[in-house]
């Protein structure tokens, strides 16, 4: 069983770069396509407890975010982040790398290899 999990969107170049970085390090990883297997509330809360980045950073601020009428005030707390991502999994920042009891958002790309290797 792998100690590394990658929450991955294969359509995202940064997410694909994370797959390559993990392979280059030689770390076995479980790759989860989070749009096909969305995280439920409990899994999101667990992820946010491990996340070294700010909880609000887990939410993408793209055109879909704006189209939903969302603002930064709507993702200011852990509860709000969880609610938004349960309703709109596509707004989760990607890639996310989980290793043991720690997790990071793999942006910029050069964060991935040191995190996985460390």
Q: Supply the residues annotated as catalytic.
A: 12
Report the alpha-carbon distance of residue 96 to residue 102 in Å, rounded: 11
Residue with tokens 């170049």: 13
* Tokens read off for 64: 């879909």
Report the alpha-carbon distance of residue 85 to residue 73 in Å, rounded: 15
Half-sphere exposure of 112 (CA within 13 A, CB side): 28
Report the alpha-carbon distance of residue 37 to residue 45 in Å, rounded: 16
* Tokens read off for 50: 């491990």
């Amino acid at each position: 069983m792998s100690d590394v999990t990658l929450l991955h969107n294969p359509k995202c170049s940064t997410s694909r770069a994370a797959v390559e970085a993990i392979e280059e390090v030689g770390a076995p990883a479980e790759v989860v396509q989070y749009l096909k297997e969305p995280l439920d509330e409990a899994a999101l809360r667990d992820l946010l407890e491990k996340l070294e980045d700010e909880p609000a950073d887990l939410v993408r601020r793209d055109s879909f975010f704006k189209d939903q009428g969302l603002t930064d005030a709507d993702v200011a707390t852990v509860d709000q982040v969880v609610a938004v991502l349960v309703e709109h999994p596509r707004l989760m920042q990607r890639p996310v790398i989980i290793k043991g009891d720690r997790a990071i958002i793999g942006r910029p790309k050069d964060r991935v290899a040191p995190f996985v290797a460390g």
